[in-house]
Structure 1
Amino acid sequence: MPAKSRETAHRTEAIGMVGPGPGPVAGLLPVRAALLLLSLGQGLPGVWALFAPRSFYDGFPLPGYGWLAKFPPYNEHLVRDLGALSLALTAVLALAAVSLERRLVRTAAFGCLAFTVPHLAFHVAHLGRFDTADVIAQLISQVAPIAVSGIVLLLSRRIGALEDRD
């Protein structure tokens, strides 16, 4: 490769700008979109919990629902820490979405699973506090990031194929 270093060529291909063939690398846009979706799913409640912990505790997922308030007592420190940790995961997911470096993408997806799988297990064990609509909403909101993280892991193989091509 005379004009570009091998590392630059891999990185350019990995982010979907150009491929060795005639057009842009298609297959990586879903990885980026999924990572951005996961980062929004962590970031929005993370900001809310960090900067308005009482409001988050009383009103998550939407004002008037108060899923967390069904697990008293309120603890400002714990809610703020949850918000900060959610924002940390958001940063890793967003960086993975921007860079699309295979190792970072996979690490971000596994990090998301490390949070969401035990989170789902807790919710499944405590559904009796909620009415049917809230149970369905909770299960959807808990299973969705697990499914999206799994999809990211499957699709991230495409990034590896690009890296191995040269």
Structure 2
Amino acid sequence: MDTKDVLSKILTEISAQVSSINEEQLSQFKNAIIAAKHIFLAGTGRSGLMIGAFANRLMHLGLNVSLITEISKPKANVGDLLILGSSSGETKSLIAYANQAKALGVKIILFTTNGNSSLAKLADNIVAIPIKVLELNQPMGSTFEQLSLLTYDSIVYSLMTELQQTPELMKNRHANIE
């Protein structure tokens, strides 16, 4: 199969998943972001890379964000938000972060394919990203990771309007030592 054919099939498969995402869950997620004093984010592996990209865009929106793995992250407090990305919802390190956050009164939102997971039980809200394989069987969660990144970017775009941010304002927050 040609690479462009595979790309086309991947895009078709991702597009087919969109109707399964719950708009109310996305709305609750956006409201939690807007209300949060500070936003902490965590994921592992490729899901961690996707959530790292999301953290970067939230910073470009002018929000206070930190990846849990950053040594320079501030102390967590009531009124803060922890966003976790985990397809399985069973990642041990993320469960530990969620338990710590819960004990501190930090709100937790989970992006996952598994709404019945250990992490889902700890979360205040979830955004379920159900994955139904249509034709391709991409390896090791690729469809979840791809759809997560696109969903995160869609949330950022929606938040731009609500937070009165323009691409120019966001670009002014872009790193200038690279």
Check whether TM > 0.5.
no
TM-score when normalising by structure 2: 0.29
Instruction: Name whichever structure is richer in helix by fraction.
Output: 1
Instruction: Name whichever structure is richer in strand by fraction.
Output: 2
